[in-house]
Structure 1
Amino acid sequence: MKSAQEPIEVAPWLSVLVPAYNAAAYLGECVESVLAQGMAGVELVVVDDCSNDASAAILTQLATRWTKGFRVQRHARNRGLSSARNTLLEAARGEYLWFLDADDKLLPGALGELRDIVRTDAPDLVLCDFEVLRERRQIKHWLRGEHHRKSFIGAPGLLHGDTAQLLSGMLLAGQLHAWSKVSRRALWDSGLRFPPGQYFEDMATMSLLALAAGSSYYVPRPWVAYRQHDHSILANANWQKAQDQSRALVPLREALRLHASEQSPQLRLALAHQSARNLLGAMRYLHSQSSALASAGPLPALADQLRQNFRESSPLTAQELASAYLRRGWLLRRQKFLRWYGAYRA
């Protein structure tokens, strides 16, 4: 029991959660981007997933400088990104949770804007945009819109309570990463966690998190600088990643069968469209590595696995999706989808 003279510890309103593995080159910048904003009531928790570079030493130095609101935990062995995030979920004390990758950083003013939204509207889920961070940004990157990437297609600056609208906007944008979402801690109380040992874990988990949210708020401004480099999951594909990509939305499809939003035409199209994107990404990998994948089985059989994964994640059949594309004038999308869906038929 605390004495009358001891201050009562107040739980933070926000926990920023950073999983780190061999991120020594970026870790200091990431941590500084959060703590230098000087926002009261914010804790930063880092889990070092048994790094074998200088990450541990850097975190020790940072903890010496930032003595308040900064905690570090370490795994005794490398357990992977999902497990590191799950450890962070257990360690977090904040009412809201914001995952941030160790090679990314928060942009100035992000925490202040988030605090104002939480105080005014108290949404279950806050979505923000991001910018792509490169060592040298060229004109072509600007023309691609890398200075401002949208994470949601829908009305900004409003409190929404429509689950189908939320999921549709996320799926159509195709940006289902954890770090562009700030969630109320209570959304995780059902036991939702990141699947260990699985790639594209963000897509699987964030879609289910959105399904559980009773309200959401979209901020059409970049709050995160996402670092683009050659060591990302997307830049280093393999057959397991291709399979996981094509299956990433199967859990959402299964969960929607028991949800009222399942009948929303808008959501059904959005889920089918993102399932098609996942299929195309996996099929392109299959095509680019066809000779290297010979040991995994005949190409038609591997392609059939990916098609089956599409059928399990999409509420629309391939023909229904092609027809929906045609009705909306999405002719290039239709052409690409039919080309890759029909590839490597036996």
Structure 2
Amino acid sequence: MTAVRISVIIPAHRAEGSIGPAIASVLEQGRPDVEVIVVDDASPDATAEAARAAAAAAPDRVHVLSLDANAGVSAARTAGLARARGEIIAFLDADDVQLPGFLDTVDRALTADVDAVVVGRRVRTGSQVREEASRRQGLLTGPEAARAAMRDAITPFPWDKAFRRELLGTEPFPRGVHRFEDLAGVIVALSRARTVRSLPAPLVEYRISPGSLTWGRVPERAERDAALGFVRTHLPPAVREGAAQDMAVLHLLLTVLIAQSAALSGTGADGSRAVLSACRRDLSARVLPAALRTSPAAGIAAALLLARPRLFAAAVRGRTRRRYGGAARG
């Protein structure tokens, strides 16, 4: 039997219609040294059955775990990591697919001193498709990559990356947090790397639908604070001591994301205004110059939120309709 080099972990909840293509996108790359671990997070539909049906094509390479109770994506990924045998770990969401060449590309990119790889993505919203990539490209030290992620210059997603297993530890993501947990885990993992290679090639297709969690719920400010606390707790001390300004920019970025979700939500005008007001109170104008230098889009959004919250909300809704169409509904 071929030794497992790469483990692809797929957390799944209510994914009976998409889990089959997700699994197939990994298997069709033809790597006998790759395993797929699907973690069904106590789905009430036929997600587990659909995953097992897809696994029948490669029963020695696809493993389906079922959690007894819904625990959230962080717990599902952690359960998959505990089962994984590969020295390289990649994550994939159950409604997305890896594109041909993902596995070979990240394997080649993980040379002797490179511990993590970032790739580009293809974003599909219905019939609309566009390609995106992190702003920072090339080789970075782990601390440089972590600070770039804090400034939104490296994407917050785990599914467009591959990590050497030791970067993830035993607690790769904060538990009990349902937004921003991805970014927190990515920042900490990158901070532990010797070198990170960032590539522009779009090798994952991210599929946005009206049912996506991103569009359906306004994050709690407590979730932002929990994610920031996870980063502060788990960053290596040498990185944490030099990243105070980056942490302040990260706080601003997450606060803007909460405000954007509120502007898009269907919670009603009063609820939306209450969240926007709370976010404005959380923002510090002193951070704006640093944000404008390192993450211009977030800095401009924060400045607009502070000065003209109604205009901020209108701008968010207009931009989202242009980029995502029907998927932008709350």
* Structures share fold, TM-score greater than 0.5: yes
Aligned counterpart, 2:227: 248
Aligned counterpart, 1:142: none
2:142 touches 2:193 (CA, 8 Å); kept in 1? no
Describe the superposition over 1:155-186 as per-residue Cα deviations: whole angstroms up to 9, x where unpaired.
Answer: 32x4x3351x2123323336211111211111
RMSD: 3.1
Aligned counterpart, 1:29: 21
- Seen in structure 2, the aligned counterparts of structure 1 residues 196 and 11 have a Cα distance that, compared at 3 Å, is farther
- Output the amino acid matched with 2:24: E
- Seen in structure 2, the aligned counterparts of structure 1 residues 239 and 70 have a Cα distance that, compared at 3 Å, is closer
The structure 1 residue matched to 2:118, chosen from 104, 112, 127, is: 127
2:9 touches 2:92 (CA, 8 Å); kept in 1? yes
**Superposition deviation, residue 237 in structure 1:** 2.0
1:259 aligns with 2:237: yes
**Superposition deviation, residue 200 in structure 1:** 2.0
**Superposition deviation, residue 233 in structure 1:** 2.1
1:279 aligns with 2:259: no
Q: Residue 59 of structure 2: SS of its match in structure 1?
A: coil
Q: Residue 305 of structure 2: SS of its match in structure 1?
A: helix
Aligned counterpart, 1:96: 88
Q: Residue 24 of structure 1: SS of its match in structure 2?
A: coil
Describe the superposition over 1:45-87 as per-residue Cα deviations: whole angstroms up to 9, x where unpaired.
Answer: 1111222222222222222222231111111222221211111
Structure 2 stretches of 5 or more lacking a match? Answer: 310-330
Question: 1:22-171 alignment to 2 at 5 Å?
Answer: 22-118=14-110, 120-121=111-112, 123-137=114-128, 147-151=130-134, 153-156=135-138, 158=139, 160-163=140-143, 165-171=144-150
- Output the amino acid matched with 1:116: R
TM-score of the superposition, structure 1-length normalised?
0.76
Structure 1 stretches of 5 or more lacking a match? Answer: 1-8, 138-145, 311-317
Q: Residue 132 of structure 2: SS of its match in structure 1?
A: coil
1:303 touches 1:343 (CA, 8 Å); kept in 2? no
1:243 touches 1:282 (CA, 8 Å); kept in 2? no
**Superposition deviation, residue 293 in structure 1:** 3.5
Distance 1:224 1:95 in 2: 21
- Seen in structure 2, the aligned counterparts of structure 1 residues 149 and 88 have a Cα distance that, compared at 3 Å, is same
Aligned counterpart, 2:286: 320
**Superposition deviation, residue 202 in structure 1:** 0.4
Distance 1:54 1:329 in 2: 45
Aligned counterpart, 2:323: none
- Output the amino acid matched with 2:86: G
Distance 2:299 2:56 in 1: 56
- Seen in structure 2, the aligned counterparts of structure 1 residues 53 and 181 have a Cα distance that, compared at 3 Å, is same
- Seen in structure 2, the aligned counterparts of structure 1 residues 109 and 321 have a Cα distance that, compared at 3 Å, is same
Q: Residue 224 of structure 1: SS of its match in structure 2?
A: strand
- Output the amino acid matched with 1:283: A
- Output the amino acid matched with 2:289: S
- Seen in structure 2, the aligned counterparts of structure 1 residues 80 and 334 have a Cα distance that, compared at 3 Å, is closer
Aligned counterpart, 1:207: 187
Q: Residue 213 of structure 2: SS of its match in structure 1?
A: coil
TM-score of the superposition, structure 2-length normalised?
0.80
Query: Higher Cα Rg: structure 1 or 2?
Result: 1
Q: How many matched pairs? A: 306
- Seen in structure 2, the aligned counterparts of structure 1 residues 150 and 246 have a Cα distance that, compared at 3 Å, is farther
Distance 1:28 1:63 in 2: 8
2:256 touches 2:298 (CA, 8 Å); kept in 1? no
Which stretch of structure 1 is more off in the superposition, 230-239 or 13-22? Answer: 230-239
Aligned counterpart, 1:313: none
Percent same amino acid at aligned positions? 26
- Seen in structure 2, the aligned counterparts of structure 1 residues 275 and 59 have a Cα distance that, compared at 3 Å, is same
- Seen in structure 2, the aligned counterparts of structure 1 residues 290 and 174 have a Cα distance that, compared at 3 Å, is farther
**Superposition deviation, residue 250 in structure 1:** 3.8
2:177 touches 2:226 (CA, 8 Å); kept in 1? no
Describe the superposition over 1:200-239 as per-residue Cα deviations: whole angstroms up to 9, x where unpaired.
Answer: 2101211111122222111211111001111122201235
**Superposition deviation, residue 95 in structure 1:** 0.2
Describe the superposition over 1:9-44 as per-residue Cα deviations: whole angstroms up to 9, x where unpaired.
Answer: 664110000011111111111111000111121111
Distance 1:169 1:279 in 2: 18
1:219 aligns with 2:199: yes
Structure 1 or 2: more strand by fraction: 2
1:194 touches 1:205 (CA, 8 Å); kept in 2? yes
- Output the amino acid matched with 1:108: P
Distance 1:271 1:224 in 2: 28
2:249 touches 2:291 (CA, 8 Å); kept in 1? no
